[in-house]
Amino acid sequence: MRPVDTEVLIVGAGPVGLVLAIDLGRRGVRCTLIERKQAPQFLPKMERCNARTMEIFRRMGLADKVRAAGLRADVPMDVFIVLALNRPPLLHLPFPSMAEAKRAIDACTDGTMPLEPYQLISQYTLEPLLKSVAETLPGVTVRYGCEFLSFEQDDSGVTARVSAESRVSEARAAYLVGCDGGASAVREQLGIALAGESLMKFRQALYRCDELFDRIPIGDGPGHGRHYHVADDRATFLIMQDSTRHWTLHAVVERDEDMARQFEKTVGVPVKYEMLYVGKWQQNLRLAESYGKGRVFLAGDAVHLVIPTGGLGMNSGVGDAIDLAWKLAATLQGWGGPKLLASYEIERRQVGERNVAASRYASLGRRKWRGEYRPEIFDDTPAGKAARGNLIRVADVEQRKSNEMIGAELGYRYVGSPTICEEPGGPEHEFRKYVPTTWPGARLPHVWLEGHVAIQDRIGGGYTLLRLGGTREDTSAVERCFSAFGAPMNALDIPDATARDLYGFDLILLRPDLHIVWRGNRAPSAPQQLAALATGHPA
């Protein structure tokens, strides 16, 4: 058989493809990332890395770089519902700045908060940053201006046809991953459909306006915030980007040129601005019927399309990439069993399904308060006052659904995975509330250890057996069983009472992605079976 040119071929250099390439490179996997665009584009797309994504970036050594490139830490993340920016707000929902959130996390001792707060960073800032990191890794090849055309797969690999500089060539890889967005050519060739619904159509525009951030005339204060929803009949929505000099506007209008007038109407006062981009987009709530076939996998928007309400789109894709990366590495390095890669779809599709549902839940809330709009809402009359009061009352409940998604971010738990030791029952999945748990399949809750050291920072990149509260259990047998498979495994003693009290068990087995495989107070009675299960081998 023809030898592989690269172990993993990744199609699509958005944040998901780039994160996958970086994590594979960190794990010693040779991978090639191809992107048909010539370079990252300055277009408005995602604008926030949520708490879980920032925890992942911390483990990748990227969190500080992302924060340095994104919105400065002192800017509030407030949300406003307005008639225009030069009128008193109808509703002001305060949310902490990154600095305020960091201080709250530093003081938290009950596991209810993430290790890292969110970070506002525009995709056009994040993509070049991730690209620069990927290009420094010796096993990672990044090729822009290289278009994926088609593939064929067999028992030993995948042969892809690609086009670059008007020349068509072939690339041979052990695995192929399509991170090529909602119109994925890889998914299309696999014959995998997206099921779900399409909703409203919008225009989106990107503006440069250097003076607006300092001049926002809302209410009595500076009016600084992240989102400004306009109570009108066009679903107008203004978003501050990470530089505070760029702004994105969404609205239902007829023509591209209408977006200039819509921006002026939203701001309400004369400002100098330049409209840099206008495009159309459609709200979608769709999930792929499968996350891949054979040696070809899909991740990110290629398998789940959500409405931006809740901020779960790109962040879900980063979760896909991190789940898939260590499983591909384990398989290529010979210690991952046949069930390991099979678990990718089982685990991540359920997260995709929940996040599509969470996005729908948030979107319905937003549509509900927008449905209270009446033309007289602008009038200084009893009818206008009543219309404003009614919209405010509904929005104060419903808009929060879009901005309070900590349960969806941190509380997802893998159910029915062949690499997790199932326990009967389990906590409910909640979108808006996070309750820390060590139930198998869940993410290990963050806790501060003595000296204000995060437990996540003590945990390496392989499997980890946490030995908590000074336990004297002999766990050498399970450690030997992991070694017999060739899997990286480390036993870590954590004597801190805080961690033992929060986690509730003396022993917790973690996967490389910090999801819990097994927990108990006595050493595993069948250590070989546990090691086999965790690494994807038959028991």
Q: What pLDDT is recorded for position 220?
A: 57
Q: What pLDDT is recorded for position 219?
A: 58
In sequence order, the 6+-apart residues with CB closer than 8 A to the CB of 120 are: 47, 48, 70, 71, 75, 77, 98, 226, 240, 242
Per-residue pLDDT of the chain (539 residues; tens, 9 = 90+): 567 899 999 999 999 999 999 999 999 999 999 999 999 999 988 899 999 999 999 999 999 999 999 999 999 999 999 999 999 999 999 999 999 999 999 999 999 999 999 999 999 999 999 999 999 999 999 999 999 999 999 999 999 999 999 999 999 999 999 999 999 999 999 999 999 999 999 999 999 999 999 988 775 567 899 999 999 999 999 999 999 999 999 999 999 999 999 999 999 999 999 999 999 999 999 999 999 999 999 999 999 999 988 889 999 999 999 999 999 999 999 999 999 999 999 999 999 999 999 999 999 999 999 999 999 999 999 999 999 999 999 999 999 999 999 999 999 999 999 999 999 999 999 999 999 999 999 999 999 999 999 999 999 999 999 999 999 999 999 999 999 999 999 999 999 999 999 999 999 999 999 999 999 999 999 999 999 999 999 98
> Which pairing describes strands 31-35 and 91-93: parallel, antiparallel, or unpaired?
unpaired
* Token pair 């870590």: residue: 492
Task: Give the number of other CB atoms < 10 A from CB of residue 254.
Answer: 7
State both tokens at 165: 């500089």
pTM of the model: 0.97
**Residue 151, phi then psi, degrees to nearest 5:** -150, 160
State both tokens at 306: 């959500």
Q: What pLDDT is recorded for position 223?
A: 85
> Which pairing describes strands 296-298 and 304-305: parallel, antiparallel, or unpaired?
unpaired
Task: Give the number of other CB atoms < 10 A from CB of residue 180.
Answer: 27
3-state secondary structure 112-147: CCCCCCCEECCHHHHHHHHHHHHCCCCCEEEEECEE
d(CA 472, CA 304): 46
Per-residue burial over 27-45, b if 16 or more Cβ lie within 10 Å, else e, is: bebbbbbbbbeeebeeebb
Q: What pLDDT is recorded for position 351?
A: 97
Q: What pLDDT is recorded for position 1?
A: 55
Q: Domains of the chain (ranges plus CATH)?
A: 6-71+113-195+287-346 (3.50.50.60), 361-406 (no CATH), 411-534 (3.40.30.120)
Q: What pLDDT is recorded for position 215?
A: 87
Residue 273, burial from CB neighbour count under 10 angstroms (0-12, 13-18, 19+) = middle
Q: What pLDDT is recorded for position 51?
A: 97
